[in-house]
Amino acid sequence: MQDTDNTRTSVICTSDLRHSYGEGELRSEILHGLNFEVHAGEVTLLVGPSGSGKSTLLTLIGALRSVEEGSLRVMGQELRGADEASRVAIRRRIGFIFQSHNLVASLTVLQNVQLLLQLKEPDPKARVEKACNLLEAVGLSHRLHHYPEELSGGQRQRVAIARALAPEPELILADEPTASLDSQSGQDVVELLGDLCRRRRSAVLLVTHDLRLLKDADRIWRIEDGRVNPWQPDLATTSP
C-alpha cells in the first residue's frame, strides 16, 4: 500500500484514469481523467447521476474490467497492464456487494455466507459461528436455514452483505447496496459496514443515490460529466 501522509493509507488511488466504450466512430469516453483516493478505515461514498460512470468505475477498481488509460492502484497493485493472475489475486481481496446478489440458489443462507470462509477458516465450527454472527448483525438470525428464493429482495441483499464481509476483505465495493432495502434497514446496513470497516481498518467504497446515507460517510466524492470531485453536500438543499 501507498502512504499519502503519515496517518492515512491509500487503498485505491487513481491518476488521470480514463475509460471509453465502443469502437471506431462509436467510441465515446465516459471517464475523463479521474484523480481520486479511498483510504483504509473509512467509508467513502460515490454519488452522481444515472449514467455518470459509477458502475464502470467500480468494475475497473474491482479488476473486473481492463484499465485502458491512466493509472489505477488498488491495494498497492497497479491494474493498468496487470496480467490475469494479478487481477484474480486482487479480486480475492475484495468483498463485492453488487445489485445482482449472485447467491447460490441451492445453498441455504448460512451455507452461502460460509462459502467464502472455506479458504480462511479451516475449522468448520468456527466457520458456522462466524457466519451466524454476521447474519445476526444483518438481522437474519431467523433465516439461517432458508434458501435465497424464500427471502425478500432486501433479505437477499443482506445475505450478500454478510457474505462479502465474511472473509474480512481489506476493501469492500458496493454498488447501490441499499437500493432494495427500506429506509431503516438501509441505514442499519451502512452503519454495520462502517463499524466493521473502522474496526478492521478496511475500506468501503459505496455507490449510492440514497441521501440518507450521506451522514454515515467519512468522505464523499461526486462524479458528473466524466469527472470526479470531493463533495461536501449541504444536506438541507442538495441531491446527488
User: Using CB under 6 A as the criterion, which residues of the chain lie in contact with ligand ADP when the complex forms?
Assistant: 21-22, 30, 48, 50-56
Of 9 and 52, which has the nearer Cβ to ligand ADP?
A: 52
What does 52 interact with, of ligand ADP, Mg ion, none (CB < 5 to 8 A by kind)?
A: ligand ADP
The values of phi and psi at residue 142, to 5°, are: -90, 5
Which residue has the closest beta carbon to Mg ion?
55
For residue 173, give the DSSP letter: E
Q: Which stretch, 47-55, 87-95, 164-172, 183-191, contacts Mg ion (CB under 5 A)?
A: 47-55
The H or E element that residue 72 is part of is strand 69-74
Of 99 and 185, which has the nearer Cβ to Mg ion?
A: 99
Distance CA 220, CA 144 (A): 35
Of 30 and 64, which has the nearer Cβ to ligand ADP?
A: 30
Q: Closest separation between CB of residue 150 and ligand ADP, Å? A: 30
Strands of the chain (E only): list them. Answer: 2-3, 9-21, 28-34, 37-39, 43-47, 69-74, 77-78, 94-97, 171-175, 203-207, 219-224, 227-230
> Does 55 interact with Mg ion (rule: CB under 5 A)?
yes
Identity of residue 6: N
Of 31 and 43, which has the nearer Cβ to ligand ADP?
A: 31
Q: Closest separation between CB of residue 161 and Mg ion, Å? A: 18
The values of phi and psi at residue 30, to 5°, are: -110, -25
Pick from 149, 154, 92: which is nearest to 120 by CA? 92
Q: Closest separation between CB of residue 69 and ligand ADP, Å? A: 15
What does 51 interact with, of Mg ion, ligand ADP, none (CB < 5 to 8 A by kind)?
A: ligand ADP
Of 51 and 122, which has the nearer Cβ to ligand ADP?
A: 51
Distance CA 142, CA 94 (A): 28
Binding site for Mg ion (CB under 5 A): 55
